[in-house]
């Protein structure tokens, strides 16, 4: 895996923070897993942490020129979450087409490393959930730990 940032978390391990370092300085990033029991998923939110309000801003584009390290940290948070909550599917959708494309490219790039440990589904243009394939575009993604029965 690519070099990644050190993650910080605390019980119940639904929030992970790290610091992005680059030309824009040191920026606190956060990955949140919010439970939506009515949908049966945890939504993954990612963004910068506002230094005044401590709120997650998932609309900002920091451009700290460290996207591979940032994405590697997000993948690590996902894998830790999957180990702690193996029954909980993670729903992931970029809030822009560009961000969704970045998620798709990152999943495709690291697929071989993780496909033995997690199921990754993509929501196709017809809203059907299918197993992830590199060559397709998706509206959203579902990730869940593979369970041994």
In a domain? residue 100: yes
40-80: per-residue pLDDT in tens? Answer: 999 999 999 999 999 999 998 898 999 999 999 999 999 99
Alpha-carbon distance 19 to 4, whole Å? 10
Tell whether omega for the bond before 12 is within 30 degrees of 0, i.e. cis. yes
pTM of the complete model: 0.92
In a domain? residue 23: yes
Q: Where are the alpha helices (DSSP H) in 3-135?
A: 67-84, 97-114
Segments forming the whole domain that contains residue 82? 8-114
Cβ atoms within 10 Å of 3's Cβ, excluding its own: 9
Number of domains in the chain: 1
10-43: per-residue pLDDT in tens? Answer: 999 999 999 999 999 999 999 999 999 999 999 9
CATH code assigned at 69: 3.30.310
In a domain? residue 144: no
In a domain? residue 103: yes
Alpha-carbon distance 46 to 7, whole Å? 13
In a domain? residue 137: no
Alpha-carbon distance 67 to 3, whole Å? 11
Token pair recorded at residue 118: 């997690």
Map residue 40 onto helix, strand or coil.
Answer: coil
């Amino acid at each position: 895996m690519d070099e990644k940032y050190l993650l910080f978390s605390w019980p119940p391990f639904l929030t992970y923070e790290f610091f992005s370092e680059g030309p824009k300085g040191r920026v606190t990033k956060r990955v949140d897993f919010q439970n939506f029991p009515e949908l049966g998923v945890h939504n993954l939110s990612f963004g910068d942490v506002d230094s005044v309000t401590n709120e997650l801003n998932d609309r900002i584009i920091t451009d700290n020129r460290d996207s591979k390290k940032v994405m590697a940290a997000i993948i690590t948070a996902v894998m830790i979450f999957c180990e702690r909550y193996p029954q909980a599917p993670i729903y992931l959708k970029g809030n822009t087409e560009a961000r969704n494309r970045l998620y798709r490219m990152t999943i495709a790039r690291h697929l071989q490393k993780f496909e033995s440990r997690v199921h990754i589904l993509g929501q196709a243009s017809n809203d059907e959930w299918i197993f992830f394939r590199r060559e397709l575009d998706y509206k959203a993604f579902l990730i869940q730990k593979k369970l041994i029965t």
